[in-house]
Amino acid sequence: MFYSTIIRKAILFASLGVLCVAETYQEQYRDQYHFSPEKNWMNDPNGMLYHKGVYHLYFQYNPGGMTWGNISWGHATSNDLLHWTEQPIALEVRKDAGGNVQEYFYSGSAVVDTENTSGFGTRGHPPLVAIYTSHYAQNMTLPSGKTVVSGQESQSIAYSLDDGMTWTTYDAQNPVIHEPPTEYITADTIQNFRDPFVFWEDSQKHWTMVVSLPNDHMVLIYTSPNLKDWTKVSTFGPANAISGQWECPGLFPLPVDGDKNNVKWVLQLGSNPGGPTIGSGTQYFVGSFDGTTFTADADTVYAAVGGPAGSSVVEDWQDTSSLASSTAALNWTATGDFVGITPVTGEDKVSNVLDTYFHGDSNTGAITSEAFVIAKSFMNFRIAGGYHPYNPSTYGTPSDTETSLNLKVNGKVVRSATGQNTGTLAWQGWDVSNFANQTAVLEIADFNTGATGWGHLIVGEILFSESLAEEQKANWVDHGPDYYAAATYNGLDGYDRVAVGWANNWAYGSDIPTNPWRSSMSVMRKYSLATIDSKITLVQEPYNLAPISSTCYDKKWDTLPGSQFDLPVTGKSLDVTLAFDIVSTINSSAQEDSTMRLLVRSSKDGSHATVIGYDASTQQFFVDRTNSGDVNFAPVFPGTYSAALIPDAHGRVTLRVLVDWSLVEVFGGQGESVITAQIFPSDDNESISLSYTPGAFKNVYIKVKDVASVWK
């Protein structure tokens, strides 16, 4: 039986929450300055709205447990985007008399209907209107007379007349968008049509909605005069990263380089899986919007990239008779279970691949090429199979469980790649310019038995090239694994745009070792657009942390002593700025890349730490969490994540590193490249240190700020 959803403000509940918060928010792994609910499961941020001096954060929430289910809208409020008060549930899952779910409240947005276009309030007392996806769990006829089927997704609205504290669903007409337009209706789109983001388009004097057809990789754009009656006016997509579902779209304007006479529009999208690393990710497009149609700028859309023109073959597995043959591009030597393995026909039924599945995932061993000379600046290859990265601490030991393609120079692994827990081959590549004309070998290492899934590797053609191949080039908002479903605030002044993302990943989100809650949000981020390397780029910076931070260490060096330095400070919640100039990109005497590493949440001996680094040879920064603490709860969790970061016009590199009890967020340069990654370190690991290639860096500066808990 359906009913109007009205949640009464529970003042007693809220006050009790404040009284017990000091004890509740001190559990192991509980982030101290990132929002998380007191208990239970949370995912996407929803309905983000600034109204009458209050920031509202609604979110996907399970009121009854620590895994996904009973999806409702949780609610928290803040006056400063730092300190949060959890409020009663805003929109709660609907169930029938037998306790069976009828309707889930999926992701959406919220607006202030200032002109009372909806008629739910008055101009003097305008309503707040939430727009969300109704996911129906039963075949039903609704109070509006509309029929829905189990699994159907439609767009509905609710309104609030008390500034967002209680909500009434518009059951007389819900859903206000019953199904996709006729030309897009399929069995799939009936069940995958979700995540509306709505805003007022002042130039056209109408409401605009962007909503996703996830598996079609398409955003539909609707307009409405009153938030009740909607007309589809245009579409966008597919484009760029399309290997996963498109979810949680957002569309908003931003000035370029602060110039309000040069405004561009940003379309932001979740991609799951098919992110930049493993599982979930968030991409964006820059373009123009005329009130009905979004048009992406040419330089923000990329054609699918395969092997670059002018590439030369290192190996293409065309000789299927043997790994060691005079007609093969390279002769390979197998060990372990792979002796006698031969290439097989690939997924495209044309090219061949080497697949270490052979007779099953339990096979282990290595397959090593003959020596060859590195002839070009890049090596590109297609790769699939298990995500079990090379780990230098276990390599060559009985504890090695990698499934990796490794490049070895002088017996040392200098580049490595792994699969993405999928059988679909994707292009990856390495910059090997630092090893030009040196002798190398390739190693296909598979020491994973498949006990935790995907215990094999698939390798397609391997090429020498003068540019990098990318399977699905995209503009990634965040290059780490833990920034998804990002959403921005409605109701801010002018072009101000503050965003937050779910700091988790669908690949392992239900497995992270937290209790009695599961998942935090990212830090609030201020979005802007800047011209970087001649391209308009989304730039992010943490929202003001000054009220809760204080400097505890500030140091400069013209040149660093030795190769390692332990900072005389410790901490679990930090804001660290590290900047330096590059002297050289490679240590020729040691034949290794020039790398600066910052170890945080580290054991005293450095054996366990989260490592944030910059590789001057590849102009990339990275986050390595392979030895960060508890990494064994999911096989895809340990890994190293990297992003391009070109030194600024003065040759300087700047990294800002936010560290919390179970999260790191690294902002490179002006914030044009960001990596967010969860970590689960031991409580005892609070040390901080630098390690670096001797003589490779100068004018090094580090500032460490202690960040206070917002829960105490």
Contact (CB, 8 A) for 169 and 160: no
Neighbours of 512 (CB within 10 A): 22
Specify the residue for token string 């403000």: 9
Contact (CB, 8 A) for 213 and 196: no
Dihedral pair phi/psi, residue 52, rounded to 5°: 55, 45
Position 104, amino acid: Y
Nearest CA to 689 out of 570, 598, 601, 572 is that of 598
With left for phi above 0 and alpha for psi between -120 and 50, is residue 655 left, alpha or beta? beta
Query: How many angstroms separate the CA atoms of 417 and 400, rounded?
Result: 15
Kindly state the helix (H) or strand (E) to which residue 201 belongs, with its residue range.
strand 194-201
Query: How many angstroms separate the CA atoms of 496 and 493, rounded?
Result: 6
Q: Where are the beta strands (DSSP E) in 515-548?
A: 517-518, 525-532, 535-542
Residue count (the chain): 712
Specify the residue for token string 């680094």: 613
- Identify the active-site residue in 44, 355, 446, 478: 44
Q: How many Cα atoms are found within 13 Å in the side-chain-facing hemisphere of 300? A: 24
Query: How many angstroms separate the CA atoms of 657 and 677, rounded?
Result: 11
Query: How many angstroms separate the CA atoms of 35 and 51, rounded?
Result: 19
Nearest CA to 403 out of 355, 371, 471 is that of 355
Contact (CB, 8 A) for 282 and 484: yes
Q: Is 44 assigned a catalytic role?
A: yes
Contact (CB, 8 A) for 239 and 224: no
Sign of the C-alpha dihedral, residues 317, 322, 325, 331? positive
Look at residue 21 and give its three-state secondary structure: helix
Contact (CB, 8 A) for 401 and 394: yes
Q: Any idea which residues carry the catalytic annotation?
A: 44
